[in-house]
Amino acid sequence: MKRTILSLCFLLAAAIVYAQRIKPDVVNTATGSLTIQPIEHASLVLQANGKTIYIDPVGGAGKYQGLAAPDLILVTDIHGDHFDPATLTAIRTPNTILVVPAVVAEKLPEADKKGVVIMKNGDQQTEAGFAITALPMYNLPESATAMHTKGRGNGYVLTIGKKQVYISGDTQGIPEMRSLKNIDVAFVCMNLPYTMDVPEAADAVLAFKPKVVYPYHYRGKNGLSDVNQFKKLVDAGNKHIEVRLRDWYAK
C-alpha cells in the first residue's frame, strides 16, 4: 500500500511539472525534427535524431520529469545557474556524455568525472553524433576581475541535421558572437549586471543574423529584462530574423 501511495505521489508530481512546463517548439531539419523544450532561465532540452541533449541542467531532477534521459549534457560555466553537481548526478546515466570547460571539470566530484569531455574555446569535436564547437563567452571590457572572463566558460554551436544551433552562455555582444555565420537557431542571454542589456543583445543579433532567436537567461539583479523591447529592436532592424518569445520563468 505504501509503495502504491508513493508511486501515485510521483506520478502526480510529474503531471504537475508537465502541466507547468511550456509547450516545446519544433524545428524541421534535414534528418527530422528538432524539439526545443525550454526549462528555466539558462536550462533547456533539445531532442533530435533519437537523442536528447540537456543544456545547463540545474534545479533538481524534478524539473526534467517526463523527459528522456540525456545522451549528451553541455555545461557552459561554473555559476550555479549553469552548473549544479547534484542535478548532474541525479539525471546522468552511465552512457551520458558530459561536455564541459576545464573549470567545471575541476569542480566535479571524482566519482562523476567518468564520461566527461573537456572542451576549450575553439575546440571542435563530435559527441553522441552531434558536431560541437566551443566558443568564447565573456564580459566587456575584458578584465581579470570580470564575472565572466575570456577562456573560462564556453558558448556552443551544435550541428543538428545540418542546422546550426548557438547557445550563448553568459556573455556580452562579443566579436566572436557578432561574426558567427549561418546560425539557424540562437539562444541569446540578456541580463544586467551579469551579461548585457537588451539593446546590446539586439545589436549583436542583428550583426550575426540567425534565422530564429530565442531570448533566454533574461532574469537579472533587478528582475526580468524587457524581451518585448528586444523583439521590437530586432524586428525593426531585420524583419527576416524570427524572434520567438517564450516564458522561461513560468510557474
- pLDDT digits over 128-141, tens only? 999 999 999 999 99
Q: What is the CATH number of domain 24-243?
A: 3.60.15.10
pLDDT digits (tens, 9 = 90+) for 19-43: 468 999 999 999 999 999 999 999 9
Instruction: Give me the residue spans of the domains in the chain.
Output: 24-243
pTM: 0.91
Three-state SS at 245: coil
Name beta bridge partners: 155: 135
H/E element, 212: strand 212-215
The amino acid present at 150, given as its one-letter code, is K
187 grid coordinates: 539562444
**Nearest residue to 208 via CA among 244, 157, 248:** 157
C-alpha cell at 88: 548532474
- The four Cα atoms 134, 47, 229, 58 give a dihedral, to 10 degrees, of -70
| pLDDT tens for each residue of 67-125 | 999 999 999 999 999 999 999 999 999 999 999 999 999 999 888 888 899 999 999 99
Q: What angle do CA 137, 133, 234 make, to 5 degrees?
A: 55
Closest CA to 55 of 138, 150, 160, 146: 160
59/233 Cα distance (integer angstroms): 32
Query: How far is CA 28 from each of CA 25, 47, 84, 104, rounded to the nearest angstrom?
Result: 10, 12, 31, 33
